[in-house]
Structure 1
């Protein structure tokens, strides 16, 4: 079996210790490369997790506004970037900015903005509440937002119909470490074993020989995606929403008026 390091895609190693020697020799360089990454791209999903049926709670939507609650990230899982997000990873970024952009597929375009003021917060959770058939605690980073049908109708219908079952975080790394298999260092081996047991899928650590431990990151946005690097990121619920402020009420009135004009035209 060949072992790889994702930051050096052209390198292949014949065994874990061959890989480990390279990591130790290039440790600081490797960390700098990792910190320079802006994490958005989705890679093949980490497999081997036992899932169970999960359905978001979706009301009978009769309004042209909906309120949506989504999981942008769940901690304590080694994702396809080989990142293990620790439980406090989002504490500072949420404290610094309790709002987040919510986008379609990480697209940095005006027409892809689902919400520019989604409530961003953390909730203690368990993977058995998010679609895995296992009792294992995690922290869910949440985006909760209002979506108007006329603003981005495709995504309104996607959430309304329960089609959005994964999300992803656009983030910058702030504080991290690397855990790697090292037969020559009891300290490193202890760290590797300790950290992998904090994940719901420690077999990934054994398979790859290393993984990243992410203590803190800065959240730039959360996105609806088809495939995320962490697939345990569902939509939790979708509800009807009644406009509260004058801008929303005027938008709702205008939308209702347009609908009525169309109905009248068809009837005539």
Structure 2
């Protein structure tokens, strides 16, 4: 008996938009357990990827790495080294490296992925993810020109609106570090408008709100900064729940409130 991946993705989309983080993680864990019981390797890979990615967003990278280890063996056995499936998995693992602050390892993993993809056809969407992720790692290492170069490469080849929105947030975060706050705000507002217009309550929207809050904080517009941090925490709470990222958002909110009182 095969696991129904089509229904899984439909249900997952509904969970992301209508359920809280606790309900999403329980759903993913239950479905992952079903795939293992059915011994459906294709489904184990697909559902395991979604579970590990959600754990990574929550900051629970230790468990995410364990799941990726299982998936990696299955992907290599089923698809081989030079394959889109393996490249896609490496991109997801690089995300985990970034959250774990293993930036050099993330860059090495993404360079390997880029080499694999260069040997395959029809890989633009995956190559865009490579550029996006590597840009984040470069940004974390304060290699801002390289970070901006990669994100601009991504924006040139992305057609999907949702992926463009993610790239706009990443570009805004680079521009903040370059102290180009006006340009950063234009980019992050484009992402916010996309998510709000399409009523997408996703972790990326929380990230967009937090990025806007950071811009306003740097512009000493503390009332507006507080407003966007509160929106970011609300969306993050609804979609992901408790974790290190939420703690950072609360810390930043309290700092903005403190500055608001002083000013």
- Into which bin does the TM-score normalised by the smaller protein fall? under 0.3
In terms of Rg, which structure is larger?
1
Normalized per residue, the structure richer in helix is: 2
Q: Flag the structure with more relative contact order, 1 or 2, with Cα contacts below 8 A and sequence separation at least 6.
A: 1
Answer 1 or 2: which has greater strand percent: 1
